[in-house]
Amino acid sequence: MKTPTISSILAAEPWYYDDDRRCVKFRADGAGEIWDGHETAFTLGASFDWRALNLTALNEEPAITTGKTAKILAHLSLEITLTERRCPCPEGWNFDEKTLERIRMTTPSFREGAFQPKTFTVRLESGRFAKPFMEDHGGVKKFGDQAHSYALWLSFRVFTRWRGITPAESSQGEIKREHTQQESALTSVSIEVPSQRGKLPTQKQVWTSGSSMTGIFEMNDSNKTVFDAVVAPILPQVLQGKSCNVFAYGHSGSGKTHTIVGYEYEAGSDLGLCLATARQLVEALNRLNEQNACDPLGVGVRIYELRRNNAYDLLNDRRECFVREGSDGQVYIRGKTEMLENGKVRVKPIVTKACWSFEDLSRELQKGLKLRATGMSTVHDQSSRTHAVIELEIVTKTLLEARDAVIERESELVPVGKHATDVYIEEQSKAIIRNPDGGYAPNPDYQLDQVRIDAAEARKAEFEALVDLAKEHESQIFGTTARKHACLGGRLVFVDLAGSEYYNDKSGLKMNQSAHEKQIGRHINTDLLALKEVIRARAQGSPRIPFRSSPLTMVLRPHFQASEDSHSAMILTVSPSSSEFAATMNTLKYGNLVGAAGNTK
């Protein structure tokens, strides 16, 4: 038998994944098809052209293993370009007329930007399958010990966006910049301060990144262009109930707010990534709600900022909240304890505002971001000095009510649990006496009232059972609704990281900052370095990921862990003005570290 090459393995048969509900076929002639059996996905049947960015890798003959431990055969960078909205249904997939009508109905929602070339990373592995690979290397049927393992995934992607030159900067000159695409399909960035007459640029005025950037956006690229390249490819993941993250990082005045939120709220091409995403989600959910009027799907929005170890709820008058890890290992963001009637104690999480229209969501978003904290920066007197987190989650009214019920049951448990603890301490205190030498001994004049202790513990157990029942009900909602709509619980999290002027700034520009703001800068440095290490550990498949290193990574932990194959991206916003060369270089240096960490194999 002829030894297979990477190309022949890739094109041998269709690859099935996500419980056989998705199928992708790579043909040897460079064409292919992708089918998605989920009702909410944007890619329900599409043809594409593909090419490997490193052609020599396709012809390699890998060392095949049949052991239980999977072995990576190859990492390939493939450029995939959609060519047609519809394609023939894969063999064995039978759709009824209603499903086919839905596919036809969703055809107009395929955005023009979806037909632009996009780069994916394919990882091929051998091992973990029933028969020797040489005998049966057909398409993957499922994950697990009895199937050939594979993954089709996007690495952590880092993009650079150059903002336009302002009138005040036009006389100062632009940074010289070059973008070089490498064989890996990643791009390196070189920047240089314009040389002055008779002078050569110094080492501090020239810098080149590694091959760590996925894409570059120039000054004339619109927010729509950025959305189509960065967010549009991961929206189908969100509409399958998965969690994805988009980070924005840059110096004050570099265009972060314009990129994430936008300023011309009514203009489609100028909508920020967050609002453009909201519009796409609402449109997709409206189509589903036409078939599900009894419990409609909506978008729950949460907006909060992180400063040091605390969070501030921007949809609840900046109410202070605390980032804590519970006994169950989960991370919770909760407000201060509220004392209610009858001894009840309530601790509310970050507020979720349910929005059933794009107008509602846009209004809530703008209202929350107006409360964003500002402070003195090295460039502007008004500068972001906190990390802002915007969570968009697909919810239903029933789901939100179930979550409120959990909070209510927990508030009822607190006084009962406290009473049980008080009874136990009281009885134990009466049952012992202090010796003359300072030690303790059993009190012969008092008999421990175990019946009283047991009664208090039994009542506590009853209320604990009610809490467990409420949590189980919440889980059941996911189970029952997800069978109809896999999108429930899907999240897209936007993180507007604090201004990069705080990151590793060794220049004299800190002179104008107060001692308090310098301390804030040190905390921000800790957060940013912790984020880089989390991204590195995830990319390397490390068994231990340092989420506890900072409040920022603790908060992001559930979003990173929600889906093993969830996608993340970072957009670096930078200024082309030569007067801000140091700030631009700082931003690119951090992005280079993150990009290198996120693409570690």
What does the alpha-carbon distance between residue 332 and residue 329 come to, in Å, rounded to a whole number?
A: 10
> Annotated binding residue at 252?
yes
> Annotated binding residue at 254?
yes
> Annotated binding residue at 257?
yes
From residue 570, alpha-carbon distances to 152, 244, 262, 472, 578 in Å are 20, 11, 17, 36, 24
> Annotated binding residue at 589?
no
Beta-carbon count within 10 A of 494 CB: 24
**Contact predicate 530/302, CB 8 Å:** no
User: Which residues lie closer than 8 Å to 431 by C-beta, 6 or more apart?
Assistant: 442, 443, 446, 447, 448
**Contact predicate 352/455, CB 8 Å:** no
Residue 454: phi, psi to the nearest 5?
-65, -35
Q: Which residues pair with 190 in a beta bridge?
A: 178, 208
> Annotated binding residue at 180?
no
**Contact predicate 195/577, CB 8 Å:** no
Cα torsion angle, 259, 226, 596, 123, sign: positive
**Contact predicate 90/35, CB 8 Å:** yes
User: What 3 state SS string does 331-360 have?
Assistant: EEEEECCEECHHHCEECCECCCEEECCHHH
**Contact predicate 255/163, CB 8 Å:** yes
> Annotated binding residue at 255?
yes
Give the closest residue to 270 by CA, choosing from 232, 224, 229. Answer: 224
Beta-carbon count within 10 A of 425 CB: 10
Give the closest residue to 387 by CA, choosing from 273, 256, 215. Answer: 256
In the annotated binding site for ATP, the residues are 250-257
In the annotated binding site, the residues are 250-257
